[in-house]
Every structure is written in structure tokens, then in C-alpha cells.
Amino acid sequence: MAEVITGKIKRKYMAHFIDSAPVAGPAVYNRLGSDLEEYTVEMNANVETKTNILNESVTSIDGYQPQASVEPYFAVVGDPMFTRLQKIVDERQTLDDLKTKTVEVHLWEAAAPEGSYVAYQEDAIIEVVSYGGDTTGYQIPFNVHNTGNRVKGTFVLATKTFTPDA
């Protein structure tokens, strides 16, 4: 049975997954966070403020350009995310080759069937920022730019599969 979460939500219960498979392949979701002390999705709201002829200010938000930074990211042989990132670096990939999907999983909101949680999937692109690093290990930090098509559904942790709501 799923753990019942009450009160303040610990950070570990907001899970972030990214599809590390090649663009044409079936999804292979990797959870972000093993080397991260912080992972924050910046919403980057498109804010517009206008002043009308009555000298009243009207502010509106007409969209978002969410993005997040994965830094550090330590390369691990055999990790599908490393394979995907190294291919971007080696082949200097651009455009559609950078497409992926992200899934945010609310581990405090259990869903049916057992082992499922409320989740949101969204299209994204991967931007490799740099590669190399210091003596702590080979690093490939990257940014995730969400590009839209946000869909609510459920995510099964055991199989790492996302199912959109009907």
C-alpha cells in the first residue's frame, strides 16, 4: 500500500523523469536527482503590463516557457541518459534530434491501480550546456526546455510508464 503523505511535502515526493530513449524509440524514463542537490523548474512567465488611458495598470500572463537545469550530471557507463547525452555531444545534434518528454510525478497523490501516481507529461528538448568537468568525474550538465503539450495522467513507478487520462 502506498505511503499516505500529510502536512508539508518532502522534496523527494515531487519526482522528475526524463525520456532518455532516442527520438524514434519507446520511452525509457530516468528519474532525475541522484547527484542533484537542487532541481527547480523555472516557469519563465510571459508577463505583459499595459497602462490604459485612465492611468490604470493591467497585468496579464499569456504563457510560460518552463525550463530546468540538471547540473551536475555525472556520466555513468550503461546509464541510458548518459548514452543519449553523449550522442548529442558526439553528433552535435540539433532540432528534432533533441526532442524528448518529461514526466512530473506527484508521489503524494496515489492513483489507481496500486503503484500509480498522478503525473503530468510534457514535450521537451534537451540542451547540453557543456561537457568535461573537474576531477570529481566526467560531467555533461544540461537544460530541459519544456515545449508544451502538457497532459495529465498516471505514472506507474514499477514499470516507469505514463498513461494519459481518458
Give me the pLDDT at residue 2, please. 62
- In a domain? residue 2: no
Give me the pLDDT at residue 144, please. 98
Domains in the chain: how many in total?
A: 1
- In a domain? residue 132: yes
pTM: 0.93
Give me the pLDDT at residue 49, please. 96
Look at residue 1 and tell me whether its pLDDT is greater than 70.
no
- In a domain? residue 23: yes
101 vs 98: CA distance, rounded Å: 10
- In a domain? residue 6: no
* Cell (9 digits) for 158: 514499477
Look at residue 138 and tell me whether its pLDDT is greater than 90.
yes
